[in-house]
Structure 1
Amino acid sequence: MCESLAPTRHYGYVQISARGDYAVRAALSLARAYPALMSAQAIAQDQEMPRKFLEAVLADLRRAGVVRAQRGAEGGYTLSQPPRDVMIGQIIRAVDGPLAGVRGLRPEETQYTGAAENLPNLWIAVRAAIREVLDEVSLAEVLSGRMPAHVRKLTTRPDAWQPR
């Protein structure tokens, strides 16, 4: 899987990168202020994150068309679309690339022989599961706490909050 959602060799879990986390948090600050502009400094203070790192993340989001930047004394950043139209997966991809990969390949590009010949099907399912959450939850839904029922249901499973 890609760096942002890669099983770690040591712990074996899906991991959201610092860039991905900061990008989503910055986008949530912008969603709360939408359509007003926010300076990088205001976002950094709101989310308690380093401004320099945040500026690099905001540049990635701008290049991907997720945010717009306005220069000048009254400048800052704003979302390019209303918060209800910006999905979390879109933000993660903007800073980290594809949601799921296997050794640098897209799941559908993997091929194995012998006992592992059916493994690409599992990698495709993993990507589909990640998409089912990240591509179906908007900034507005996270901000309001009213996420889609299928996502809320995942958080109510008995083991959902337990580390493994």
Structure 2
Amino acid sequence: MRISAKADYAVRAAAELAASEPGATRTAEELATAQHIPRKFLEAILTALRSAGLVVSQRGLGGGYRLAHDASEVSVADVVRAVDGPLVFVRGERPSELDYQGAAAGLLHVWVALRANVRSVLESVTLADLAAGTLPAEVREMLADDGAWESPDSPSF
């Protein structure tokens, strides 16, 4: 699974907003600088987050962006979905809409299980967790496995 730059930037910007004083606004420029995100790209991302109801914007002096909800109510999955749509697609389709035949029939179960695992992690981590530098216990347990930090360079056979 690949996380798009758009999703990565969106979560980083949302985490910055979560770390802000309650009710405070941050400009796109401040967020872009804090997270080293191209400002023009971030502006499009903030528009998508606003359309999804995750952030609100305020114009004028002291204007900027702030979270529309408490950071503990917004998951990383919410942010990713706002900018990229469903979390797991296979060939542009949701796994539950696929149909495989013959020897590949079991592959459908693999894709659905993948989606369930991605959801489990991304829905359990909130923006408040990121801003506080803490993660839910089940995510920390996954990180305790040394294999979680390694990426095989070639097939393991």
Superposed pair shares fold, TM > 0.5: yes
Which of the five TM-score ranges fits, normalised by the shorter chain? over 0.9
What TM-score results when the alignment is normalised by the length of structure 1? 0.89
What TM-score results when the alignment is normalised by the length of structure 2? 0.93
Q: Shift in Å at residue 66 of structure 1?
A: 0.6
Q: Distance in 1 between matches of 2:41 and 2:23?
A: 23
Tell me the percent identity: 48
One-letter code aligned to 2:111: W
| Structure having the larger proportion of residues in helix | 2
- For structure 2, the residue ranges without an aligned partner over 5 or more in a row are 153-157
1:95 is matched with which residue: 80, 83, 93? 83
Q: Distance in 2 between matches of 1:150 and 1:76?
A: 35
Aligned-residue RMSD, C-alpha: 0.9
Q: What's 1:32 paired with?
A: 19
Q: Deviations over 1:40-78 (max 9, x none)?
A: 111111111111010000001000111001111221000
Q: Deviations over 1:68-105 (max 9, x none)?
A: 01111221000000111110000000001100011111
One-letter code aligned to 2:77: G
Q: Deviations over 1:110-135 (max 9, x none)?
A: 00111111221111100000000001
Equivalent residues in 2 for 1:33-52, closer than 5 Å: 33=20, 34-52=22-40
1:80 is matched with which residue: 61, 64, 68? 68
Aligned pairs, how many?
151
- For structure 1, the residue ranges without an aligned partner over 5 or more in a row are 1-13
Q: What's 1:58 paired with?
A: 46
Q: Distance in 1 between matches of 2:33 and 2:92?
A: 35
Q: Distance in 2 between matches of 1:40 and 1:29?
A: 11
Q: Which runs of 4+ in 1 moved over 2 A?
A: none
Q: Shift in Å at residue 145 of structure 1?
A: 2.1
Q: What's 2:2 paired with?
A: 15
Name the SS of the counterpart of 1:77 in structure 2: strand
Q: What's 2:155 paired with?
A: none
Q: Distance in 2 between matches of 1:57 and 1:38?
A: 14
